[in-house]
Each structure stands twice: as structure tokens, then as C-alpha cells.
Amino acid sequence: MKIILEQLLNGLTIGSFYALIALGYSMVYGVMKLINFAHGDLFALGSYLGFTLLVWGNSYITAHFGVVFGMIAAMLIAAIGVGISGLMVERIAYRPIYPAGRLPAVVSALGVSIFLENALMVIWGPKPQVYPSEAILSVVLNIGAIKITLLQIIILIISFLLMGSLYYLIQKTTFGAAIRASALDRETAALMGININMIIFFIFALGPALGGVAGVMVGMYYRKINFILGWNYGLKAFTATILGGIGNIPGAMVGGLLLGIFEMLGSSYISTAYKDIFVFLILILVLIFRPRGLLGEKVAEKV
């Protein structure tokens, strides 16, 4: 029982990383119908930005304002940095290609991904970097028989706050309705007076920013980051997006959390070595029997 609960908590933590990254994929896909392959590498960029910020800010911010403040400041600044990079990627690599259609945009996205991955390698070096341990909380709490670190609690609180506010924004506000409308049909939405460029600007800033926060969290949680981080997490988060239903915001959150939990339970009860296979098998089974994902709506086929 104790192990199950602990594994569930770990799964939830990893799942919240996946969910935060998946939101970026899902928002961009929803409006642009583009699989943003560069998103995983933007997430890795966030991870590296957080690393540099913590190394620099360690002596000043952490010493003066405490560890928690330092951590949150790192997440915030990394999020802003990654958000700006996301906007730049859209402006430079995607916007000129929209008229040509979807497939060239996929190649361009792969190009951005290769570029970013190698830029990370050139800037921070090919060796893995380790987050400074004094800048990260290492308190372990014992609740009943369950062990949980304070860091995990903070990660869970922040990611659930972020997901909750995004859910509110997308589902309850007028602006959210505009985003959903442009995801359904961009042209008609534009005819109804929705500023599509504004929406595109927003999704390409917010999606990568959430990914950046997840990047810093992953760095804090595992301590060790490398420049190919983006591919691994990107692929998993993308799987999560499909699992929940691509283009569907609550779906991305549910998909991410479920994927994290599946992965942890799979690795503790089936086999650690086969846990990734397990994840992809679930994905394929879901797609065979429910191609629109768990929460996706059925789209009628146009003739």
C-alpha cells in the first residue's frame, strides 16, 4: 500500500511535467494544426536557463531571500526567456511558411529542433550539467508512512496552479473562447472579428513558457540535465497530448498526468526496462480503439 501511494505521488510529479509540456503541443496544434517539434527543445532550453540562473543567483538571491524564492524566481525568469524564444521561433521559422501549408512547416520545425539542440550543446557543452544542490530544497517529509520531499509538493502545487489557471482562462473567459473558436475553424473565427495574430502570438508565448517552467522543475527534480533532454521529454509529452486528445486543453492535462502514473506503475509492477514500451503500447491501443484520444471530440469528416 505504502509503495503504491509513493509511486502514485512520483507518477503524479512526472505526470505534471508531461502535462505542462503537453499543453504547449496541444495549444499550438489546436490553432495551427502544426506538430511543433521544436517544443521539446524549448523545454530543454528552459531547463538550461534555470540551471544558469540558479548557479548565478545562488550567492545573492538564495542567500538573501531563501531557497524557495530563488527557485520560483528561476522558474519565472526561465519561463519568460523561453516564452520569448518561442515567439522568435514562430516569427522566424514558421510564419513565412504558413502559406505553403503543413508539411514544409513540419520540416522547418524539425530544423528548429536540430538547431536548438545543437545550440544548447555549443553553449553549455556536451557533458551533462548538474543543478547546484544548495539552491534546491532537500527536505523530506514523512506523512504517515509515506515519504515525500518538500520539492515534490512545491512542484505539484505550482503545476496544478498553472494548469488550473490555464483551464480557467481557456474554458471560462472570452479570450479562451476566442482561442477555442480559432482552434475549431481559423477562417470563420477571423470573420467573427477574432484577432488571429493575437491568438497565435499568445499560444506561441504561453505554450513554451509552460514548457520552460517544466524544464526548470525537471532540472530540480532529477538534478542532472543534458542537451538531448528535449527529445526524450518532448516525445513523451507528445504521447500524452495524443492520449488526451490533441488540441484539447483539459485532455493534455489528463493525458500527461495519466502517462506519468502509467509509467511509474508500469516500472514498479511490470519492468523498469520495458516501461517506455508500455507507455507507447498504451498509446497505440488508445489510438486503435479511440483515435480521437480520451477527451477528444469526434470530428465529422468533410467531403
Binding positions for other proteins, rule: CB under 8 A: 33, 35, 37, 92-93, 96-108, 110-119, 121-122, 187, 231, 235, 238-239, 242, 246, 273-274, 276-277, 280-281, 283-284, 287-288, 291, 301, 303
> Using an 8 Å Cβ cutoff, are 279 and 259 in contact?
yes
Using the minimum distance from each CB to other proteins, give the nearer residue, 107 or 198.
Answer: 107
Tell me the closest approach of the beta carbon of residue 1 to other proteins, in angstroms.
Answer: 30
Distance set, CA 268 to CA 148, 150, 263 (Å): 17, 23, 9
Tell me the closest approach of the beta carbon of residue 263 to other proteins, in angstroms.
Answer: 13
* Grid cell for residue 265: 506503475
C-alpha span between 212 and 70 (Å, rounded): 16
C-alpha span between 151 and 89 (Å, rounded): 32
Distance set, CA 126 to CA 82, 206, 225 (Å): 21, 29, 11
Using the minimum distance from each CB to other proteins, give the nearer residue, 138 or 197.
Answer: 197
Tell me the closest approach of the beta carbon of residue 228 to other proteins, in angstroms.
Answer: 9
Query: Phi/psi of residue 222, each to 5°?
Result: -100, -10
Tell me the closest approach of the beta carbon of residue 16 to other proteins, in angstroms.
Answer: 22
| DSSP secondary structure code for residue 192 in this structure | T
Axis-axis angle for helices 196-222, 174-184 (nearest 10): 100
Tell me the closest approach of the beta carbon of residue 12 to other proteins, in angstroms.
Answer: 23
Using the minimum distance from each CB to other proteins, give the nearer residue, 102 or 224.
Answer: 102
Using the minimum distance from each CB to other proteins, give the nearer residue, 92 or 130.
Answer: 92
Query: Which runs of E-coded beta strand occur in 95-193?
Result: 129-130, 140-143, 146-149
Tell me the closest approach of the beta carbon of residue 232 to other proteins, in angstroms.
Answer: 10
Neighbours of 99 (CB within 10 A): 7
Using the minimum distance from each CB to other proteins, give the nearer residue, 100 or 161.
Answer: 100
Using the minimum distance from each CB to other proteins, give the nearer residue, 41 or 74.
Answer: 41
* Grid cell for residue 212: 520552460
